[in-house]
Amino acid sequence: MMTVRFCQLHQLIIKSADLAGDCTPMSRADLWNKRYLDRNRAIPSLPDALQRSLAALPAGRTLDLACGDGAASLYLAENGHRVVAVDFAIEGLQRLQGFAAQRQLTIETQEIDLSAEQSLAALSGEFDNIVLLRYRPESSLLQQLSARMKPAARLLIQTFNLEQHRQTGFPERFCLQPDELSQALPELTLEAYDNGQLEGSVFDRYLFVMP
Ligand SMILES: C[S@@+](CC[C@H](N)C(=O)[O-])C[C@H]1O[C@@H](n2cnc3c(N)ncnc32)[C@H](O)[C@@H]1O
């Protein structure tokens, strides 16, 4: 009983600190590490809306940014992509590697804080696809993406929108405003933008293509 109470209190403190937005990037990584350590051994799965978006990407060298414990990376690797997976939570990356080993998949992982300046500098080469799922990218990250894309490469950004905030109270600062990213990457062609509210979804989806 004491253990249960302690865990509940501990989680409450973590949640409050996270929502208050008074954490340094490293302590946010620690919060995510704690979340991944607390998860059971189940392999993460993707909501159908995200899986449909990934299924439309041609197999190639694919960068999964803010990959977490690998729901998207594992799906992509199983469907013929050569995946480089990036996150700042080492515990998520270690879970991802464990799941990849169980499924005999090879996925490269990199521990990187995506909010840092030139955060992608440590990555080598260019990609056929870049995916950003359930993570709102900072402009410093967005500005680095096109330099990492091959000709005709795709960039998929699908994450929570304001409707998620309204329906669930999920912090607004992690939610995309309507149409927020349409003009954010002028060097890329915006091939599709779905406002999630049209489908009753909480996601906004942007698909950009490198000319
Ligand atoms: C909601 S999870 C989404 C994980 C995965 N994209 C998915 O859809 O299953 C958000 C992820 O972003 C990562 N993250 C948050 N801030 C980050 C940062 N500054 N740099 C790198 N990763 C970050 C967290 O560690 C977490 O794994």
How far is Cα 144 from Cα 146, in angstroms, rounded to an integer? 6
For 87-110, the DSSP string reads ES-HHHHHHHHHHHHHTT---EEE
Residue 160 Cβ < 6 Å to ligand 1: no
Statement to judge: residues 24 and 122 lie in one domain: no
Q: Examine residue 43 and state whether it is found in any structural domain, yes or no.
A: no
Q: Residue 6: give the domain boundaries.
A: 2-38
How far is Cα 156 from Cα 53, in angstroms, rounded to an integer? 8
Residue 115 Cβ < 6 Å to ligand 1: yes
pLDDT along the chain (211 residues), means of 10: 31 39 68 96 92 97 98 98 98 98 98 97 98 97 98 97 90 94 97 82 93 97
Statement to judge: residues 57 and 88 lie in one domain: yes
Ligand 1 atom showing the smallest separation from residue 32 Cα: 25
Residue 132 near residue 110 (C-beta atoms within 8 A): no
**How many CB atoms neighbour CB 53 within 10 A?**
22
Q: Examine residue 9 and state whether it is found in any structural domain, yes or no.
A: yes
- E runs forming strands in 82-181: 82-87, 108-111, 127-133, 149-160
State pTM to two decimals. Answer: 0.89
